[in-house]
A and B are shown apart, each in its own frame.
Chain A
């Protein structure tokens, strides 16, 4: 029941120890005082004792009667307060124990023995030697008793203090502590002020604790509300994030992905990537051209901007071609950690559409080779890159007839055939273009006429092959007239170049009957009209 480390025991122990110390320190003082007191007592006792025999001593001295003197002295020595005594007059001397007393160095009390009938006359002297041993013994006994009683008193005080502190302080504190134990923070529960403690420190403590509990409850309520709000918001955000159509990741600088949404997982699945926590720095493993991505991003980040671009993902499956619009922005947390937020919008379908559109724009839907639009783009590109090339403008002979006789389908077939031949016979770096109607253009990687001739003759042989329509036994043969102009040798102006090639081709067309082997004519610079040469000089 009693906690030996408790306040009560501590307090009582201190009290007892303090009392003991007081007793210890005052014991000597007490002893001194008692000793003094005992000496005084003894002295006064001796005086009293002497008074009892004074009459006898006086009479004995007057009568010079030794028996009486003995009686008086023996009477004195009988007391244990007196060690020795002597009476001395002219006629009588009697002593008991005096030598012993003198040996002990005891000083006597001296009493004058007066004449019994003439008080002014002194007859003898009585010396009384106090028994100091006895007195000291007494003093010691008394002070020991005193000390013992003080010790006992201290212990009693301690015990009483313990009981009082237990009932007044500790028990209520224990009760308060117990009820504090049972209290769940954040609830309406409070501690009751112990009885009779309404105005005590314990009462104050309890009230303070209750106030604290009030605050705690308040705080709890607030926290709870806040938590609910946060949870609500978090749920919403999560929903937003998870259901976002854009693949979004939050990743660390080293590429470790902290957060990802379903769209991202779908995206990686789509390109047959394994589910990983880490796709390298800035998701490089996902892209077909990681260096390009990284370069663009780091450059943008260095400028402290967000980066955006369209990139193709590296696909591990055959048919999935995935293009994304990547939006990357660096984020810096409050504690200075670098994160990146990357959003990947799947733009494959749009890209596909665009491609299709581009194809439609640049290629001839019938033959699959470049159309004029694509060709012009190509020429512009070559020119801008400073390539040297030969432009061969081809016009089919006999095509119109096929068209007129056999119809458009047959004409289409012829066109397809020619385009195939062109594709087939030209070299890897050459390009074939359907310039429109039955006109074709070849862009040849050649600077001299000879190599042009080589290629064109090959092409010519292919085109000249007779071929049969499905339901026709008659072979159909088409020939071609070709005009060639060199870039930049002939002219640096593209329009002029085409024009010159056109003029040369026209020349060849004129000769097609008279000189069929001269189907290939190289353009001359001189063939330019004055106006054209003026233009040309402006260009140059």
Chain B
């Protein structure tokens, strides 16, 4: 009977929906990250030679979430993730897109198969990030304000 099929479908749909919602929202509950820690606030930095002096949040989202790989002046931009400092990474994404790391990871794994977008390049430690910023003019990375060096230019700060 079509009756039965319909209800079965409904049930399945509903369960999918419910699990989605759980998935999307349920993880939000695990926010333990705060910018207010000993390492100080996070800033977004580029190579000091980079002509871009300032970036806005939207540009950062587009860059770090894989929409564009270029600065507003058209030059190539390479977003850098930090591998080892999960806390920093989590804090950054929380500030940027308001999502926990798990969600961000899920976003990328979703795009791994079907999307053309590429996730940021991962440098393991803060030193590696610093090195990368020195060597690569297209690099854009996030660091604690306390880790900012002369070779870096702060283009965005989270207030």
Instruction: Establish whether residues B1 and A145, one from each chain, have CB atoms under 8 Å apart when the complex forms.
Output: yes
A116 CB contacts on chain B under 8 angstroms:
65, 97, 107
Question: Which residues on A sit within 8 Å (CB–CB) of B99?
Answer: 117
Q: Which residues of B contact A (CB under 8 A)?
A: 1-3, 6, 10, 13-14, 16-17, 20, 24, 58, 61, 65-67, 96-99, 107, 110-111, 114-117
Distance in angstroms between the alpha carbons of A323 and B96 in the assembled complex: 159
Closest 3 CB pairs of A and B: A117-B97, A63-B117, A117-B61
Residues 36-61 of chain A, each 1 if its beta carbon lies under 8 Å from chain B, else 0:
00000000010011011001100100
B14/A48 in contact, CB under 8 A:
yes
A142 within 8 A of B: yes
Whether A63 contacts B2 in the complex (CB less than 8 A), given A48-B13, A48-B17, comes out as no
CA distance A131 to B117 in the complex (A): 34
Q: How far is the CA of A65 from the CA of B110 in the complex (A)?
A: 13
Chain A residues within an 8 Å CB radius of B24: 55
A65's nearest neighbour on chain B, judged by CB, is B115
Minimal Cβ-Cβ distance residue in B for A51: B17
- Chain B CB within 8 A of A383 CB: no
List residues of chain A with CB within 8 A of the CB of B116: 63, 65, 67
Q: How far is the CB of A60 from chain B (nearest CB, A)?
A: 8
- Once A63-B67, A65-B117 are accepted as A-B contacts, the answer to whether A49 and B13 lie under 8 Å apart by CB is yes
Q: How far is the CB of B84 from chain A (nearest CB, A)?
A: 25
> Does A63 contact B66, Cβ atoms closer than 8 Å?
yes
In the complex the two chains form, is A59's CB within 8 Å of B13's CB? no
Asked if A298 CB lies within 8 Å of chain B CBs, one says: no
> In the complex, how many angstroms separate the beta carbon of A220 from the nearest chain B beta carbon?
68
A52 to B19, CA, bound (A): 10
Q: Say yes or no: is A228 at the interface (Cβ < 8 Å to chain B).
A: no
Give residues 421-456 of A contacting B (CB, 8 Å): none
B1 contacts which chain A residues (CB < 8 A)? 145
Contact A71 B17 (CB under 8 A): no
Q: Is A340 an interface residue (CB 8 A)?
A: no
Cβ–Cβ contact B16 & A52, under 8 A: yes
> By the criterion CB–CB under 8 Å, are B2 and A64 in contact?
no
A62 at the interface (CB under 8 A from B): yes
Please determine whether A59 and B107 come into contact, CB atoms closer than 8 angstroms: yes
Across the interface, do B67 and A45 meet the contact criterion of CB distance under 8 Å? no
- Name the residue on A nearest B3 (C-beta): A145
Separation of A48 and B65 alpha carbons in the complex (Å):
26
User: Is the CB of A118 closer than 8 A to any CB of chain B?
Assistant: yes
Query: Whole-angstrom distance between the alpha carbons of A48 and B14 in the complex?
Result: 8
Greatest chain A CB density within 10 A among B24, B58, B115 is at: B115
* A45 surroundings in chain B (CB, below 8 A): 10, 13
CB neighbours (8 Å) of A142 from chain B are 2-3
Contacts of A361 in B (CB 8 A): none
Residue of B nearest to A81 (CB): B9
| A residues in contact with B97, CB < 8 Å | 116-117
> Who on chain A is nearest to B98 by CB?
A117
A273 proximal to B (CB < 8 A)? no
Besides A116-B97, A138-B6, 10 new A-B residue pairs in contact (Cβ under 8 A), listed by A number = A51-B20, A63-B67, A63-B115, A67-B116, A116-B107, A117-B97, A118-B58, A118-B61, A142-B2, A142-B3
Question: Which partner residue on chain B sits nearest A67 by CB separation?
Answer: B114
Q: Measured between alpha carbons, how far is A48 from B21 in the docked complex, in Å?
A: 11
Residues on A with C-beta less than 8 A from B67 are: 62-64
Mind listing 27 A-B residue pairs with CB under 8 Å? A49-B13, A51-B17, A51-B20, A52-B13, A52-B16, A52-B20, A55-B24, A59-B110, A62-B67, A63-B66, A63-B67, A63-B116, A64-B67, A65-B114, A65-B115, A67-B114, A67-B115, A68-B115, A116-B65, A116-B107, A117-B65, A117-B97, A117-B98, A118-B58, A142-B2, A142-B3, A145-B3
| Bound: A156/B117 CA distance, A | 65
Cα(A49)–Cα(B9), bound, Å: 11
Neighbouring A residues of B115 by C-beta, 8 Å: 59, 63, 65, 67-68
Q: How far is the CB of B33 from chain A (nearest CB, A)?
A: 17
Instruction: Determine the distance from Cα of A188 to Cα of B155 in the docked complex, in whole angstroms.
Output: 121
Chain A min CB distance to B144 (Å): 22
Q: How far is the CA of A461 from the CA of B116 in the complex (A)?
A: 197
B99 to chain A: closest residue by CB? A117
Give Cα distance in the complex from A62 to B58, angstroms. 11
Complex contacts, B117 vs chain A, CB 8 Å: 63, 65
Cα distance, A151 to B96, chains bound together (Å): 63
A63 to B69, CA, bound (A): 11
Q: When chains A and B are docked, how far (Å) is the Cα of A59 from the Cα of B104?
A: 12
CA of A68 to CA of B110 in the docked complex: distance in angstroms?
Answer: 10
* Separation of A107 and B136 alpha carbons in the complex (Å): 53
Which residues of the partner chain B approach A198 to less than 8 Å between Cβ atoms? Answer: none
0/1 per residue, A489-517, Cβ < 8 Å to B?
Answer: 00000000000000000000000000000
Alpha-carbon distance between A190 and B14 when the two chains are bound, in angstroms: 72
How long is the Cα–Cα vector from A51 to B18 in the complex, in angstroms? Answer: 11
Q: In this assembly, does A233 line the interface, its C-beta being within 8 Å of a C-beta of chain B? A: no
B2 contacts A59, C-beta separation under 8 Å: no
